[in-house]
Amino acid sequence: MPIPQTRNIGLPMMNLLRFKGLPILQQLHIEEQLLRTSSENWCIINDGTNDPTIVMGVSGKPAELLEIESVLRDQVPVIRRFTGGGTVIVDCGTIFATFICNKEAVPDLQPYPRPIMSWSSLLYGKVFQGIGDFHLRENDYVFGNHKFGGNAQSITKSRWIHHTSFLWDFDVRNMTYLKLPKRAPEYRSARGHLDFICCMKDYMPRSTFINKTVEATGTQFSLRSYPLEAIETGSETEFYPSTRFLTDEELEAAAAAGQ
């Protein structure tokens, strides 16, 4: 463990995990496991995932959210994750950033969705200071009124997770797999995907974003890099994550049932 800088004394510890191209299912499994079984604070950054994958929230209904026919035809994998929130399609142009914290980790932070969302927006506010009119709009990170980052959370008895998928870049064709959701933020105003979202690449290079995020996190936590080998090999599978792929059969059944 590196010796902490003098200025870090007094800050709560946080482990930093940095991945590149880690499959999103694996990332979500790691996150769920750390949320439920670790008692430490974590920051996880995954610079792009491998294949385009659809990731739905815990209670998402495929028929409402996806163009199931195209999804099945093109064999796009669909994951149901353990946190709430909406549906995204992620690929190598998506940068993921996750915070997993004990309830007392951030002083005076109430462990509820809005306060945690606000806290995260202040942190990213530092990252995007002076750039592109960044702010938190309802539950999304926007430049102006275009969304470039979507959030989801899970709050347990003594911990919480807040994870974000940032659209550093995206393939316009992938968006066609997603329907316009029934529950949408007000500011979306019924805009289609392409009118509603934007890319971060127009504002900031990838590495700059990641470095600035780590830096901003370091102002509140004493970060220490965590060896990846310890995470990847440590899966003795006592823990069973709930995040999983939906099977073709499930998707077909959902399409048939119209739900």
Partner 1 sequence: MIGRRISQTRAWNAGRRWLCPYMSSAPCPIPAAAPTEECGRHFSSYAKAPFSLTNNPVNFYIPYVVQRCQFSSNAVADLPMEGTVDVPLAQTGEGIAECELLKWFVQEGDKVEEFQPLCEVQSDKATIEITSRYQGRVSHILHVPGSIVKVGETLVKMAVEETQVPSVIPNNLEKEKPVDAKLNKYSTGGVLSTPAVRSLAKEHDIDINDVQGSGKDGRVLKEDVLKYAMQKGVIKDPSVTATATATVGELLHGEESCSYGSAEVAGLYEDTIVPLRGFQRTMVKTMSMAAKVPHFHYVEEINCDALAELKASFQTNNTEPGIKFTFLPILIKSLSMALSKYPMMNSCFNEESLEVILRGSHNIGIAMATPYGLVVPNIKNVQSLSILEITKELSRLQQLALDNKLSPADISGGTITLSNIGAIGGKFGAPILNLPEVAIIAIGRIQKLPQFTDDGNVYPASIMTG
CA pair distance 89, 54, nearest whole angstrom: 4
- In the complex with partner 1, which residue's Cβ is closer, 18 or 206? 18
Stretch that binds partner 1, among 66-74, 128-136, 149-157, 194-202 (CB under 8 A): 149-157
Within 10 A of 246 (CB to CB), how many other CB atoms are there?
A: 19
- φ/ψ of residue 53, rounded to 5: -140, 140
Question: Minimum distance between the CB of residue 252 and partner 1, rounded to whole angstroms?
Answer: 13
- In the complex with partner 1, which residue's Cβ is closer, 83 or 94? 83
DSSP string of 131-161, one letter each residue = STTEEEETTEEEETTEEEEEEEEEE-SSEEE
136 makes contact with partner 1 (CB under 8 A)? no
Residue from 3, 73, 130, 236 binding partner 1 (CB under 8 A): 236
Q: Where are the beta strands (DSSP E) in 50-158?
A: 53-56, 78-80, 88-90, 94-102, 134-137, 140-143, 146-155
Q: How far is CA 234 from CA 28, 57, 225, 231, 238, in A?
A: 15, 26, 17, 5, 10
Residues touching partner 1, count (CB under 8 A) = 66
257 makes contact with partner 1 (CB under 8 A)? no
- Hey, what amino acid is at 36? R
146 makes contact with partner 1 (CB under 8 A)? no
**Number of residues that this document lists for the chain:** 259
Residue from 125, 132, 218, 241 binding partner 1 (CB under 8 A): 241
13 makes contact with partner 1 (CB under 8 A)? yes
- In the complex with partner 1, which residue's Cβ is closer, 39 or 207? 39
Q: Which of residues 154-193 bind partner 1 (CB under 8 A)?
A: 154-157
Q: How far is CA 153 from CA 80, 110, 187, 258, in A?
A: 14, 14, 21, 28
40 makes contact with partner 1 (CB under 8 A)? yes
Residue from 98, 151, 165, 174 binding partner 1 (CB under 8 A): 151
Instruction: Note whether 151 and 143 are within 8 A (CB).
Output: no
Cβ neighbours for 211, distance < 8 A, ≥ 6 positions apart: none
Residue from 48, 52, 85, 93 binding partner 1 (CB under 8 A): 85
Q: Which among 130, 135, 151, 152 has a CA at the least distance from the CA of 204?
A: 130
Question: Minimum distance between the CB of residue 130 and partner 1, rounded to whole angstroms?
Answer: 27
- In the complex with partner 1, which residue's Cβ is closer, 202 or 239? 239
218 makes contact with partner 1 (CB under 8 A)? no
- Hey, what amino acid is at 42? W
75 makes contact with partner 1 (CB under 8 A)? no
Residue from 2, 107, 130, 258 binding partner 1 (CB under 8 A): 107
Residues that bind partner 1 (CB under 8 A): 1, 9-13, 15, 23, 25-26, 29, 33, 36-40, 50-51, 57-59, 77, 80, 82-86, 103-104, 107-108, 110-117, 139, 151-157, 230-231, 233-242, 244-247, 250
